[in-house]
Amino acid sequence: MAKNHPSRKVGLIGFDNTVKLFGDGSEENPEVIRDDSVLGDEDKIKQVAAQSAQRCMQNSVSDAEIKLIKLIDKLSPGGCTALGPAVLSAAVLAGNGKPGSQVIICTDGMANVGLGQFRNYGGDANDEQANRFYDMVGKFAQEKGVAISIISIIGDECNLNTLSRMAEFTGGNVERVDPIQLKNNVVNLMTEPIIATNVVAKIKLHKGLCFRNEDPANLQENETMMVRLLGNVSKQTEITFEYTLKKIRELAKMEDVDFEKLTHLPF
């Protein structure tokens, strides 16, 4: 990145039972969130991260490259995983940059410290408290024009069902990779430019049709209009959806449409 995009800014966050906001590596004593009362408080995390962003996200990657590499080399595994506080902090740091910024999370997904922790090993898709938290982070990042992508290692008990919600809100990606391919996956994510932020897609069906398997919250006009918030999009972004005929009894009530003579359905 320092070679191909020298003016970009890059920040590093490490997390175990604490969250270390290294940013661009310029601070001798980077901010460390270790107090349980902060790790469990959304507003306090946002405040600490926003203040840190003003201090440690000022240098371009061409200036920060050497320090960041040294910091990465010094990282080592810890006993716990404050994933939720780290992700929220990262979204705040990236949100202080330009729209179209990215957060890339490398994790085994075993969140067990602070906000967003899962109640059992490997997580639980029905963990409503964790779902609400990661939905909140996704919506916050979406508003800031930040894409969140997740890289998990094959074989880990990563709860992608819950974590992927952030990617869905923001137009990010979810990858499960072989450790040998980790570098290539990170590079691929960082080289795909964001071409638009806060994107909304609207799809209108003929009134004789309706959407299938779609979140009711996304549907309007008697289920013939779908509105999807896509967040950030790149040239590779695509969306899919399903639709079908409405029930016969509903079609029979439509006096202004003769379905026996209809040769095609406007879409």
Q: Between residues 107 and 70, which one has the greater pLDDT?
A: 70
pLDDT digits (tens, 9 = 90+) for 229-243: 888 888 888 889 999
Residue spans of the domains in the chain: they are: 12-192, 197-252
What mean pLDDT do residues 229-258 have? 84
Q: Which of 104-108, 110-114, 192-196, 214-218 has the highest mean pLDDT?
A: 214-218
pLDDT band at 123 (very low <50, low <70, confident <90, very high): very low
Considering the entire predicted model, what is its pTM? 0.76
Across the range 49-67, mean pLDDT stands at 91
Report whether 146 contacts 170 (CB < 8 A): yes
155 or 88, higher pLDDT: 88
Average pLDDT over residues 26-55: 91
Neighbours of 6 (CB within 10 A): 12
Instruction: Give me the amino acid identity at 150.
Output: I
Superfamily of domain 12-192: von Willebrand factor, type A domain (3.40.50.410)
Residue 76: count other Cβ atoms within 10 Å of its Cβ: 7
Cα–Cα distance, 28 to 215 (Å, whole number): 48
- Predicted local distance difference test score (pLDDT) of residue 255: 83
Exposure string over 233-263, b if 16+ CB within 10 A, otherwise e: bbeebeeeeebeebeeeeeeeeeeeeeeeee
E strand residue ranges, 25-129? 31-33, 102-106
Q: What is the pLDDT of residue 32?
A: 92
Q: Residues of the chain with pLDDT > 90: what percent?
A: 38
CA distance 138 to 237: 17
Instruction: Quote the mean pLDDT of the chain.
Output: 85
